[in-house]
Amino acid sequence: MKAEPRASHPLGPPSARDRGSVRRTNLALALRLLRDQGPLSRSRIAASTGLPKPTVTSLVAELVDLGLAAEGPTQREGAVGRPGTLVHIDGRHICGIGVEISSHYIHVLALALDGATTFEHRTALTAADTAADTVLDLTARTLARCTAALEQAGARAVGTAVAVPGVIDTPTGTVRYAPALGWRNVHVTEGLRHRLGTTTPALTLDNDAKLGALAEYAHEHAQVADMVCITGQSGIGAGIISGGRLLRGAAGFAGEVGHMPLDPQQRPCVCGRTGCWETMVGLDALLHLAADPDDHLHDPGVELEHRLTVLHERAVAHDARTLEALERVADALGLGIALLADVLNPGRVVLGGYFTHIGDLILDRVRAAVDQRVMAPDGGGCEVALSPLGFTAAARGGAHLALDAVYQDPGAAL
């Protein structure tokens, strides 16, 4: 759509400031259109936005000057007339940084505006046994490496978003409570800014499941407007997309599904309660069911993906204990998903994190459990699917969130 026309100003014509605001709005509108629809000619941009063609030509020129768009190749749009030159997202040198601090690792990832991964590094970690200051030290060092690598490549970051599992106070950048990390009232953005210096790009803190949901939604190119994205970590959370928007709730805490009281055995949870869903389906629950404590599946010094590969190999080899563990987790997962499907009626439930590494072993059983338990016919139209992003989703979502400033106001962000 085009910018809404202004009513006549009672004190005279619109000021330069007013005209500048309209231009910024239209510039952002054109850039988001290229993001959502892919390469377009100027005439297609004009038709989609309702803006005059001369205005679109001027906006495209500004986007090209900012390094956010590029031109070419040409494409004929009808049987007659000259072919039009396509305009597409560029932004190879404009990046957003996403960070995930999980109970098992620190993951730092930078995405360029065109979607290319320009930096990625993961550090193994046992967060529950590591002081918060030490975790922030490690995070800051990796962020400094990322920034240096971007600068060496001629790129720069417009912002950084940090994902943490738990209850987050985003405006203050504080982790109020993250039981999987053993954190209470940890000032993450302030701590990182102190370690990185005042020249660091804008820092934002958010919940890992919410940022993971943003990444899954971006990956789907908005094909599914109502979805629930379930993290698969030691803790279980959900990012909820409703009508194409991230659902945060009245105080921003929506999605703490891991603590739904579903466990009939009332096992103790790290949150201090008993009977939480994550005691049935979390990664630690699966490993506890599948292996004795001295088994190297529990060794935090071994990469998590390798441990999950070993688990998968045991299942394929028909190890009885592994198969029973997977069946129990699949049944419990179906129970909770069916409850969410009854309440939220999503078009898709996406299983992320560790579920992606064992999904081929449990997905059919989970789907059957959901179909059996959901009240609406055909599961209410809810499809259960595996994430294509795995353990990268939260960091990717953080990078997308950081880049969103460019899409909201390109000139100001740069």
Query: pLDDT tens digits for 349-362?
Result: 999 999 999 999 99
User: What's the pLDDT at 221?
Assistant: 61
Indicate the fold that domain 94-212+394-413 takes in CATH. Answer: Nucleotidyltransferase; domain 5 (3.30.420)
Candidates 201, 209, 89; CA nearest to 146 is 201
Residue showing tokens 């910024």: 24
Share of the chain above pLDDT 90, in %: 73
User: What's the pLDDT at 10?
Assistant: 36
Give CA–CA dist 202/200, Å, rounded: 7
Statement: residue 202 has pLDDT above 70? yes
Statement: residue 206 has pLDDT above 60? yes
Candidates 249, 247, 246, 243; CA nearest to 226 is 243
User: What's the pLDDT at 222?
Assistant: 58
The mean pLDDT of 115-136, rounded to a whole number, is 92
The pair of structure tokens assigned to 24 is 């910024």
The mean pLDDT of 36-43, rounded to a whole number, is 91
The pair of structure tokens assigned to 317 is 């080899």
- Contact assessment for residue 235 and residue 165, using Cβ atoms and an 8 Å cutoff: yes
User: What's the pLDDT at 380?
Assistant: 84
Query: pLDDT tens digits for 82-92?
Result: 667 899 999 88
Give Cβ neighbours of residue 398 (< 8 Å, ≥ 6 apart). Answer: 96, 97, 98, 99, 100, 109, 160, 161, 162, 163, 204, 206, 211
CA atoms within 13 A on the CB side of 261: 4
Give CA–CA dist 331/289, Å, rounded: 14
Domain boundaries, the chain: 16-89, 94-212+394-413, 224-389
Indicate the fold that domain 224-389 takes in CATH. Answer: Nucleotidyltransferase; domain 5 (3.30.420)
User: What's the pLDDT at 300?
Assistant: 82
* DSSP run (H or E) holding 303: none
Query: pLDDT tens digits for 295-330?
Result: 999 988 888 899 999 999 999 999 999 999 999 999
Give CA–CA dist 68/60, Å, rounded: 9
The pair of structure tokens assigned to 147 is 């920034």
User: What's the pLDDT at 128?
Assistant: 83
The pair of structure tokens assigned to 342 is 């009854």
Q: Say whether 224-389 and 16-89 share the same fold.
A: no
The pair of structure tokens assigned to 302 is 């071994």
- Contact assessment for residue 142 and residue 106, using Cβ atoms and an 8 Å cutoff: yes
User: What's the pLDDT at 4?
Assistant: 40
Instruction: Label residue 266 by pLDDT band (50, 70, 90).
Output: very high
Residue showing tokens 């000259």: 82
User: What's the pLDDT at 6?
Assistant: 36
Query: pLDDT tens digits for 210-233?
Result: 999 999 998 876 578 899 999 988
Average pLDDT, the chain: 89
DSSP summary character for residue 264: T
Statement: residue 187 has pLDDT above 50? yes
Statement: residue 387 has pLDDT above 60? yes
- For the 16-89 domain, the top CATH level (class) is mainly alpha
- Contact assessment for residue 231 and residue 212, using Cβ atoms and an 8 Å cutoff: yes
User: What's the pLDDT at 198?
Assistant: 75
Which of residues 20 and 371 earns the better pLDDT score? 371
Statement: residue 125 has pLDDT above 50? yes
Give me the count of residues in the chain: 414
